[in-house]
Amino acid sequence: MRIRDVVIGANASMYYRLNFSKIRGVFYPRSEQEVLQIVLKANEQGLDITPKGGGSGLSGACTGGDRERFMISTLQMREILTISKDQRYVDVQPGATPNEINDLLEPLKMKFYVAPSSRDIATVGGLISTDGGGNDTWVNGTMRDNTIRVKMILYNGAQLVVDWDGVRSNDKSLEEKLNRAGMTIHDVASSHGTLGIITELRVRIKPLVEEELIGGVAEFDDYDSLGQAIQSLIDAKFPVRYGEAIVQAHEDVRGDLRLPLLVLEYPRDDALQEKLTAIADFRHLSKEEVEYLKDTRIKLPKRNPKEGIQVALFEGYGLHGKSLTEMSHSITEVNELLMEDGFRPFAKYGHAPSKWYLGDNSEAFGLVMHSREIRPEGRSGKEIFKTVARIVDKCLELGITPKPEHKWPFSDDVKKKRIMKLRDIIGGGFNSFILDDNAGEVLGSMV
């Protein structure tokens, strides 16, 4: 395997045109001590550092942009260090994936309940940095809800332990300043590698629940009725174990499915069934039918139409409150913008109901919807990125959260300000390009 394949090859985002000459070194440390040596070397040479896990992040942050930099891959740091069944935690290196953790926990009848679709490749270091989660976040929370503490190394080599109460460090003056600023796990969650490199995590585990699940699907006449049904599930605190809405799908993929639809799995229970029937007209599904719908949803981002190329122009909208219950308006406005810029909407689907956090750390509940479109021919990366920027503005106007799962500072001013405040105390050095004024131009040149 060539180094460039490892560093770049796993990059799932649309920002793939990297200038390799700006990458001054690629490192695969195995321990915190080795990470420290690399960080100090970067500091000595005045180079930026980009931490990289599985490369499945979609915001472009794990590419490092165009800064002269070192790339530190955590893929050789995937050891499970301690399992405490009694105290319900696992200490783990940052490069382990949820699947690897769960393989070890299964014989103990315990589970780490963070399950993004990418759980076989995404690392826990990447997951806390993007605050990822799966289509059960509604029940089990996002990565931050399942993280007890993290260890980090900063650009000057200082070591931090960050938990929900604050910060401890071998640099006492820094510790005091960060505690005065109120730094906790909330700040590390969704920081996209801009604060330091995470070298270890303590994550929460829970007993494996073995319950009988039942599947159901409801088809709706329009988007608003779908949004209102999702809001009712949220209000009723309905214990959805799997929930996906397919809102729009190109005919090459949807076959004869009637859209929009909502497919759910939930515990078999008469009282729950009654609650659900009051919300919408859900029809029972056999196991095979549930699998068929899950498979269709998985094909949506993978299948290209017979003509044109599909792109994830803007991966993830959070529809909540009015933007959810009046979803037709939200979707029409976004689609009109896309079509004005020459894109053809291809598919919209997503986790529902779902939970995520806003930039000020307040919780939001609604539908996390992915959007895919067919890209116009002959457009430059910069032109395509202009549409991304227009969608950010449109989302803000409509009360939609842009990119809720991958909330990176570019589209989240509150989070960006907070990160900059913390970087004033700890120094920069990590993924600085994201905070540059020209971040949009840089990313545009990489499409």
Ligand X SMILES: Cc1cc2nc3c(=O)[nH]c(=O)nc-3n(C[C@H](O)[C@H](O)[C@H](O)COP(=O)(O)OP(=O)(O)OC[C@H]3O[C@@H](n4cnc5c(N)ncnc54)[C@H](O)[C@@H]3O)c2cc1C
Q: Give me the residues that bind ligand X (CB under 6 A), please.
A: 12, 50-58, 61-62, 74, 94, 116-118, 122-123, 125-127, 129-130, 132-134, 192-193, 197-198, 405-406, 431
Nearer to ligand X, 130 or 184 (CB): 130
Nearer to ligand X, 235 or 436 (CB): 436
Nearer to ligand X, 125 or 402 (CB): 125
Non-local (6+) Cβ contacts of 388 within 8 A are 313, 314, 440
Least Å distance, CB 72 to ligand X, is 8
Least Å distance, CB 342 to ligand X, is 25
| C-beta neighbour count of 26 within 10 angstroms | 17
Report residue 389 as tokens. 């920027």
Q: How far apart are CA 231 and CA 234, in angstroms?
A: 5
| C-alpha pair distances (Å), 39 with each of 70, 84, 130, 232 | 9, 31, 22, 49
Nearer to ligand X, 112 or 282 (CB): 112
- Residue showing tokens 């399992």: 83
Q: How far apart are CA 404 and CA 392, in angstroms?
A: 12
Least Å distance, CB 143 to ligand X, is 7
Residue nearest to ligand X (CB): 126
Residue 198 one-letter amino acid: I
Buried b (16+ CB within 10 A) or exposed e, 98-134: bebbbeebeeeebbbbbbbbbbebbbbbbbbbbbbbb
Least Å distance, CB 69 to ligand X, is 11
Nearer to ligand X, 238 or 408 (CB): 408
Least Å distance, CB 180 to ligand X, is 23
Q: Is 275 left (phi over 0), alpha (psi -120 to 50) or beta?
A: alpha
Instruction: For 265-285, give the DSSP string.
Output: EEE--HHHHHHHHHHS--EEE
Nearer to ligand X, 51 or 318 (CB): 51
Task: Provide the β-strand partners of residue 348.
Answer: 248, 371
Nearer to ligand X, 134 or 366 (CB): 134
Least Å distance, CB 187 to ligand X, is 12
Count of positions (residues) in the chain: 447
Least Å distance, CB 201 to ligand X, is 9
Question: CB of 398 within 8 A of CB of 314?
Answer: no
Element (H, E) at 222: none
Least Å distance, CB 223 to ligand X, is 22
Q: How far apart are CA 153 and CA 200, in angstroms?
A: 10
Nearer to ligand X, 193 or 444 (CB): 193
Nearer to ligand X, 34 or 326 (CB): 34
Strands 197-204, 110-111: parallel, antiparallel or unpaired by DSSP? unpaired
Report residue 4 as tokens. 């460039």
Strands 401-402, 197-204: parallel, antiparallel or unpaired by DSSP? unpaired
Non-local (6+) Cβ contacts of 187 within 8 A are 162, 195, 418, 419, 422
Nearer to ligand X, 95 or 215 (CB): 95
Least Å distance, CB 168 to ligand X, is 18
Least Å distance, CB 228 to ligand X, is 24
Non-local (6+) Cβ contacts of 181 within 8 A are 421, 422, 425
Nearer to ligand X, 119 or 375 (CB): 119
Q: How far apart are CA 164 and CA 432, in angstroms?
A: 25
